[in-house]
Amino acid sequence: MPTIETRRVVITGMGAISPQGVGARALWHGLSEGRCAIGPLRHKDGEVLRVKIAAQVPESFDPATGIDERTLPLLDRTSEFALHAAREAIAHSGIDFTRDGLGQRTAVIVGTGVGGETTQDEQSRRLYAEKASRTHPLTIVRLMTNASASQISIAYGLRGATYAVASACASANHAIIQAAQMIRFGMADVAVTGGTEACLSYGALRAWEAMRVLSDDTCRPFSANRRGLVLGEGAAIFVLESLEHARARGATILAELAGSGMSADASDIVMPSADGAASAMRQALAEAELNPEDVDYINAHGTGTQANDSTETRAIRLAFGAHADKLAVSSTKSMHGHALGASGALELVAAIGALRESVVPPTANLDKPDPACDLDYVPNVAREMKVRAVLSNSFAFGGLNAVLALKRAP
C-alpha cells in the first residue's frame, strides 16, 4: 500500500473561560497556584437542590463584551463561553484568516457533552411548569449541539469542515483529536477546536443528584476520603496548525500535539475499564513516538469518584509499567470541577502550562492516601520539574476514552 505522508501538528493559540476566571492565563495561574475554585452553588433553585456546591464561572464574566448585540440573542451560555474563548485563542495565535484564502482551509470542531442545556431547561420550564403554548423562536438555534462551532465559523468566516463532537466527558479531547487529524492528513491547514459546557441547569443538577456520584463538600481525586465529583462549567479553545504553516508565518508555538489515542471499553455504560483506558494511552504514546519513560506528567481524568480514580490508577500502571512510579500525575478537576464536555479542553491548558513553564499543577484537597491509588499525585502544592512530554486523559460514560500526547514546542 502507498505510504501516507503526515504533517506535524502544533498549538499556536489558546483561550479560556473557567471557574478560575476569564482567560487562559487566569486558568493556568489558578491551577499552578493550587487554588480551588469550587464554592457554593449560585442557582435560582438552589434552596430545593440537594447539591450545594459547584465550580462556576465568576459572576464578573460579561457575555456581552466583544460580541455583537445582534448575535447575543442567538446564544446559549455554552456558545457565549465558546465565542469568548475562541476570540482569545485567535488573538493569541496572531493568525489572519483573511490572508491567502486561509478561512477556506480552516476547520472548526468543538466538543460539548450536552450542548445548549440552559436553553433546553428554560424552555421546558415554560412549556411544562408555566403551561406556555410555545417556546422562544430562537430555541433551536440556541440549543443545537453544533451551535458553538457554527457561531465561531460565522464570526471569523471559517469555511472548512465545521461540526460538533459529543461523547460526554471525552468530547473536548475527541474534538481536538479530530481537528489534529484533519491537519495531519492534509484536509485542513488550521483548526479552531476545543470544548465548551454550561451544564448547571435545574434539570441537569437533579439528574446528577439522582446518580449519587456528586460530592457534598469538595473534590478530592485519589484521596481515600473522596466523596464524588463536583460539576463545573466553562470553555477552552485552541488554534492548531501544521508545523510548516506555523513556521511560515512566524507563529509562536506553544506545544506540539504529537499524538492521540482513542478506544471504547465495550463493557459497561458507566463503570470504567482499566484495559480500555490503557489502550488509549498506549495508542497516544505510539503515535507520538514516545516511550513510556519519555513522559514526565499525566493530567489525569481524576473525577474524584471511587471507581474512576482507582481504575485510572490501574490503567496508568498497565500502560506505563515500571515507569508509572516515576510519573507525576495530577487531577486539575480538584480545582476547576468537572466541566463534562469541556473538561479535556480546560485540562489541555494545564498540560501546555506544565510543558512551557516546567510546573506541574497539583491535585488539590488530597489529604488521605488511598492504597488503591498509589501513584505520585502531586498533592496540594505545584511542583517545579522538567516536563518533556505530557499525556492528558479524558474518559467518559459509555466507556469512551480519548488521550492527547504533547511534546515541547519544536
Catalytic residues: 169, 301, 338
**Residue 243 burial (CB < 10 Å; 0-12/13-18/19+)?**
middle
The dihedrals phi and psi of 159, each to the nearest 5 degrees, come to -110, 10
Residue 95 in contact with residue 55, Cβ under 8 Å? no
Q: What is the DSSP letter of 4?
A: P
Q: State how far the Cα of 383 lies from the Cα of 371, in Å rounded to an integer.
A: 23
Q: State how far the Cα of 208 lies from the Cα of 230, in Å rounded to an integer.
A: 10
Residue 165 in contact with residue 146, Cβ under 8 Å? no
Residue 34 in contact with residue 335, Cβ under 8 Å? yes
Q: State how far the Cα of 10 lies from the Cα of 84, in Å rounded to an integer.
A: 22
Q: State how far the Cα of 200 lies from the Cα of 209, in Å rounded to an integer.
A: 12
Residue 236 in contact with residue 14, Cβ under 8 Å? yes
Among residues 234, 320, 248, the alpha carbon closest in space to that of 277 is found at 320
Residue 176 in contact with residue 194, Cβ under 8 Å? yes
User: Alpha helix (H) ranges present in 105-170?
Assistant: 117-124, 139-143, 147-156
Residue type for position 112: T
Reported as type and span, the H/E element at residue 25 is helix 24-32
Query: Where would I find the beta strands (DSSP E) of 116-215?
Result: 162-165, 190-197
Cell numbers describing residue 241: 496548525
Among residues 349, 409, 360, 405, the alpha carbon closest in space to that of 26 is found at 349
Residue labelled with grid coordinates 472548526: 108
